[in-house]
Amino acid sequence: MIERHGPPDSLVERDVSLRVPGPDEVQLRVQAAGVNFADLLMRAGLYGTVPSLPYSPGFEVAGEVVRVGSRVDGWRVRDRAVALLRYGGYSHDVVVSPRQIVRYPDSLTPVQAAAVPVGFLTAWVCLFEAGRARAPETVLILGAGGGVGTAAVQLAVRRGLRVIGTAGDMRKRTFVTQELGAEACFDSRGEWEADVRQLVGARGIDLALDPVGGHATAACRRLLAPLGRLIFYGLSDAMPRQKRHWLHAARAWLRTPRFHPLSLVEPNIGIFGVHLLHLQAKQHILTPALDKIFRGVAGGELQPVLDRVFPFDRAGAVEAHRYLHARRNLGKVVLADRTPA
Ligand SMILES: NC(=O)c1ccc[n+]([C@@H]2O[C@H](COP(=O)([O-])OP(=O)(O)OC[C@H]3O[C@@H](n4cnc5c(N)ncnc54)[C@H](OP(=O)(O)O)[C@@H]3O)[C@@H](O)[C@H]2O)c1
């Protein structure tokens, strides 16, 4: 849990009494919790819309229903589910509305299931709801080796899009092209704008998924073809490398271009913002999308790319945060008590 903002080892473990579920709620015993980049931003004090300290990070968990409110239909004790949360997933139990939980296929372990919701749903919304991607358009996916990125590459390839990624090391780039089917994946720390331009020529790209901000956003905008869409969904660039994080975050903020609506008219382009956790009003889109994604995973057409499982305790969470901060993860990182067989 986060009691004060700071580096990974500022996370603490605390016993907190659990709220008794109301008649319209269920209690889920958490077996695995997905770790997301935004958890790091929360811990560093760089994330908006969070409760006052102390609170626990964690947007997604997989677990088993252990209590069901008297007015809840359709759920029973021992049902397995994933939950999407605003925060609080680094916990042994969570109390949630049934609207926040979705069943997952029997063939998946809780660890695999916890690696699916945030990455795949964010990718889905960016590509198909906000981005309206359709074959044979070209999509540029920044951070293609990350949790959202590996999901986005798979969804886009399956839809028949031409996929170009960026990633920070050779292991990720090779995986994104050879295992996930992207046409190319360029060095996110190199001259990727020029590389993409060389590949697509003057025609440009139809869609850019940008979770980075700063100069990367300006580059994506320059690469857009007429009727191209830039989907902005994160500001990884704000993540402090070491200390003095406010200064670093402020620089990232300032580096990110501002767009006047008039500047979009002549080039015929659009800019779209996405924030999955503020989409509760669109649950009728999210729940069927997650069902479809889980069916794809069960059928073997999609795979949650699972990099590492860290122990579900303070030390494990600290190490997981360090691992993500060092940009070493290829796909998802999950906290769980035991590594699945
Ligand atoms: N808006 C939403 O609803 C939503 C939902 C989920 C995630 N997000 C955002 O999407 C991004 C990815 O999330 P994730 O959980 O998939 O994270 P992740 O698995 O850690 O992947 C993030 C990738 O971003 C790159 N990266 C890390 N630190 C960076 C930095 N300081 N500057 C530039 N690039 C950096 C790394 O790629 P390379 O080193 O390989 O380049 C890393 O693989 C984050 O910005 C997150 O906040 C937004």
Rounded to an integer, the average pLDDT of 240-266 is 82
Q: Is the CB of 167 under 6 A from ligand 1?
A: yes
Residue 333 tokens read as 């990182």
Global pTM value:
0.96
Alpha carbon of 160 to ligand 1 centroid (Å): 24
Cα separation, 208 vs 71, in Å, equals 44
Closest CA to 36 of 107, 123, 132, 126: 123
Q: Is the CB of 34 under 6 A from ligand 1?
A: no
pLDDT digits (tens, 9 = 90+) for 133-158: 999 999 999 999 999 999 999 999 99
The 10 Å Cβ neighbour count of residue 264 is 15
Domain segments of the chain as ranges: 8-116+304-336, 119-277
Nearest CA to ligand 1 atom 24: 143
CATH 3.40.50.2300 assigned to domain 119-277? The reply is no
Q: Is the CB of 46 under 6 A from ligand 1?
A: no
Closest CA to 80 of 55, 113, 48: 113
Strands 205-210 and 162-167: unpaired
Rounded to an integer, the average pLDDT of 69-85 is 97
Nearest CA to ligand 1 atom 13: 37
pLDDT digits (tens, 9 = 90+) for 37-55: 999 999 999 888 899 999 9
Radius of gyration, CA atoms only, the chain = 20
Burial 8-42 (b: 16+ CB within 10 A, else e): beebeeeeeeeeebeeebbbbebbbbbbbbbbbbb
Mutation choice for ligand 1 from 164, 195, 327, CB with most ligand atoms inside 8 A = 327
Q: Is the CB of 233 under 6 A from ligand 1?
A: yes
pLDDT band at 340 (very low <50, low <70, confident <90, very high): very low
Q: Which residue has the tokens 């986060």?
A: 2
CATH C-level class of 8-116+304-336: alpha beta
Q: Which range is least confidently modeled, 71-75, 212-216, 247-251?
A: 247-251
pLDDT at 341 over 50: no
Mean pLDDT over the full length of the chain: 95
Q: Which residue has the tokens 């889980």?
A: 294
pLDDT at 204 over 60: yes
Residue 187: the pLDDT is: 98
What is the position in ligand 1's atom list of the atom closest to the CA of 35?
Answer: 15
Q: How far apart are the first and last CA of the chain?
A: 28
Residue 244: the pLDDT is: 57
Q: Is the CB of 248 under 6 A from ligand 1?
A: no
pLDDT at 329 over 90: yes
Conformation bin of residue 229: beta by default, left when phi > 0, alpha when psi is -120 to 50: beta
pLDDT band at 254 (very low <50, low <70, confident <90, very high): confident
Nearest CA to ligand 1 atom 27: 327
Mutation choice for ligand 1 from 60, 140, 148, 173, CB with most ligand atoms inside 8 A = 148
